[in-house]
Amino acid sequence: MPLTPQATPTTYWLEHAWLGTHVEPGVAVDIADGRITAVRTGADTPPPGATALRGLTLPGLANTHSHAFHRALRGTVQVGTGTFWTWREIMYSVADRLTPDTYYALARAAYAEMALAGITCVGEFHYLHHAPGGTRYSDPNAMGEALLSAAAEAGIRITLLDTAYLSAGFGAPPNHHQLRFSDGTAERWAQRADALKERAHARIGAAIHSVRAVPAGQLGTVADWARERQAPLHVHLSEQTAENDACRDAHGVTPTQLLADHGALGRRTTAVHATHLTGEDIALLGDSHTGVCMCPTTERDLADGIGPAAQLQGRGSPLSLGSDSHAVIDLLEEARAMELDERLRTRTRGHWTAAALLRAATADGHAALGWDDAGTLEAGALADLTTIALDSVRTAGPLPRLAAETAVFAASAADVRHTIVGGRQIVRDGVHTLVPDVPTALAASIAAVRG
């Protein structure tokens, strides 16, 4: 059954609720037509007819950066040694075997895993557009439509970040793997992307895969497409020092400066990773209020490095979080890792409060995906909620007023008890209501694309 909002008015009673600045006990949330109509504090017991959510309830989590098919890599790419570039060859081998049908099944299972982890919205950075060899499907957006359908069937919202990926490197044509990523030119990319239509659970955005994958003279075409539609624009930025070096060799500037020169920075843009930046890069991103999505579990898995997240936020860049390659799918771990990585880098503690980290995982993540009406527990917001158990072996013990700290620094995706999207329970007591056997769905869909 696809995602639809709760049709009849309903009330949820939250044993403890994170209201953006603090944890409030006893909160009743009224919902109608998929939106919160009232948030009532001081409700010591569940009102008559209300559904009780015991634990800590947050706004739904936003996974700002996902490549759904990378879920098939988990375990496989952890064997042996190597670099990002050797990992990429394994990734290509999975991409080569995907069809619209197998991608739908894999994405549906991966998105269901996200729902079990409390994620109510995903930003899908989608560049796997065509058949192997670059031949277009009869529907040129068959792969994107598969992802939109998969999210609906898994019960979560999606922003499909349709990605321009046109070259293998600065001045190099796509290699044989990348032919199915490429539309040939940014203009042809835009024509294809124009055919994608938004729907209740889905919004359409744009992405520049990277400055190495979109020729400099065509960056503006993608940026203009997003600007004209007031749509999100995302871009992999300076994930690898090799990209920075190649960009300087080709254009004499850093990737950040190249994006700035072609009008690709700004409030609707999110730079993903932003790991290897100069001071000037940080200023360009922060002063333009370009958002930055950190993906710590992927960045550490690929040995990419630790990005200057604290400096970026201090300069003016909102931060969001993503599970990217899905080495794990756990937004609480991403939030925790951002703080703990910065502690390792600086050898000091406390760069972000638990509230700030939760904001990155909720309101700021939704804003980066174009869902400004989600990510908060307040009247008028979309009724997307996540409840975390406070009585598991990881979370039992701390005072309830410290539940936000407990969630960020001790809980995991395994502690998510309920996930609600549009007022409808998608996960109830740790069980997905639309995909009842998520492990089997994952195993079967991954087996179908395994070499």
User: Among this protein's residues, is 324 annotated catalytic?
Assistant: yes
CA 143 – CA 202 distance, rounded (Å): 15
Report residue 451 as tokens: 């070499």
Nearest residue to 443 (alpha-carbon basis) of 156, 199, 105, 116: 105
Helix and strand element counts for the chain (H, E) = 15, 16
Question: What is d(CA 348, CA 334) in angstroms, rounded to the nearest whole number?
Answer: 19
Q: Which residues pair with 199 in a beta bridge?
A: 202
Of residues 275, 299, 234, the one with CA closest to residue 84: 299
Residue 351 catalytic? no
Distances (CA, A) of 131 to 110, 138, 142: 22, 10, 10
Helices (H), 155-271: 186-194, 216-229, 241-251, 255-261
Catalytic residue among 273, 276, 326, 418: 273
Catalytic residue (one of 183, 281, 304, 324) = 324
* Neighbouring C-alpha atoms within 13 Å toward the C-beta of 19: 18
Catalytic residues: 273, 324
